Amino acid sequence: MGCVKWTLIFTIVILPLSAVVVQWMNYVDIENYYKDKRIIITGASEGIGKDLAIRLSQLGARLVIAARTENKLKDTQKLCQKYSQDVFVVRADVGKEEDNKLLVSEAVKHLGGIDILIINAAICNISWFVDTENPGKLYEDTFRINTLQGVYLTQYSLPYLRESHGTIVAISSIVGIMNAPSMAAYVASKHALQGHFGSLSLEFEKRNENISVTIMPLSIVYTENLLKQSRDLKPGGFFEPGITPVDCADRITRGIPLKRVYHYITWDAFIITHLYFLCPACVDHLIAMAM
């Protein structure tokens, strides 16, 4: 009963008060903040990465955008160049170390340095572990893109981020904090990504590196890929269970300048992850029922 009582108090009293305070603290003049900022974005050929590139170009940022599909990437570039000519394309498979090294090298060549590194590219295969023919291979592929991308890009960007006192942004998921069935490889990779960047943030602080780390655990974002898999889903509803990629991109741009280690762009992500810390078994049960 005690657990239920404190969970109700947390949900009814503390969270709404927190919402008011956070909303008040979230204002930043992004029009000036992003002017001439040198930014790398991975996974920019579609979905969140594409809309994020467009939004940042509207705000005057200088971009290097990367993905595996070059023709889609060039489509993104054309849309961005309506607002800014400083948008450069690098075809890269971020699951490969050499491609990450090339991406950083090309960014420095085109932009002269790096102010913000946005690690956005990710893959997610809906697959029950017990039914997967070769789960080891699935895990290797998923970790290379979802986790090692962040390791390699940080490694090669570090000298330039030190120089600019820059920011690393890891676009993650609430399942990097919680659990979910039928996507164990994705969940494990996001746990690892958040563990890596959370620890890195402490290292930077301890060593006075002047490099900030922001982890953004997203909930449901209605990308084309998600809508193809779940045709009945529609954005909107109680506590924002689901937003569009355009809205997501705008909220990400507003969150980056705040330089918080963890930044939640929707209330459902904030609420469910904090409830998880209070009563993980309850949230696990609700997720299992929902899926």
pLDDT in tens, 129-181: 777 788 889 999 999 999 999 999 999 999 999 999 999 999 999 998 988 88
Cα–Cα distance for residue pair 288/70, rounded to 1 Å: 38
Question: Residue 291 domain-assigned?
Answer: no
Confidence at residue 22, expressed as pLDDT on a 0 to 100 scale: 54
Confidence at residue 238, expressed as pLDDT on a 0 to 100 scale: 43
Question: Residue 195 domain-assigned?
Answer: yes
Question: Residue 290 domain-assigned?
Answer: no
- For tokens 């078994």, the residue is 281
What is the number of structural domains in the chain?
1
* CATH number of the domain where residue 275 is located: 3.40.50.720
- For tokens 């450069």, the residue is 88
Give the residue numbers annotated as catalytic, written as ranges. Answer: 186
What is the crossing angle of helices 267-278 and 2-9, to 10°? 160
Confidence at residue 129, expressed as pLDDT on a 0 to 100 scale: 76
Whole-prediction pTM value?
A: 0.85
Cβ-contact 79, 54 below 8 angstroms: yes
**Domain residue limits at 272:** 2-19+28-285
Question: Residue 15 domain-assigned?
Answer: yes
Question: Residue 139 domain-assigned?
Answer: yes
Question: Residue 130 domain-assigned?
Answer: yes
Cα–Cα distance for residue pair 59/253, rounded to 1 Å: 9
Question: Residue 45 domain-assigned?
Answer: yes
HEC sequence for 30-71: HHHHCCCCEEEEECCCCHHHHHHHHHHHHCCCEEEEEECCHH
Question: Residue 184 domain-assigned?
Answer: yes
- Below-70 pLDDT ranges, the chain: 1-28, 223-241, 290-291
As given in the structure block, the two tokens for residue 133 are 């023919």
Q: Which residues contact 189 (CB under 8 A, 6 or more apart)?
A: 122, 139, 142, 143, 146, 147
Amino acid at the residue 253: T
Cβ-contact 109, 96 below 8 angstroms: no
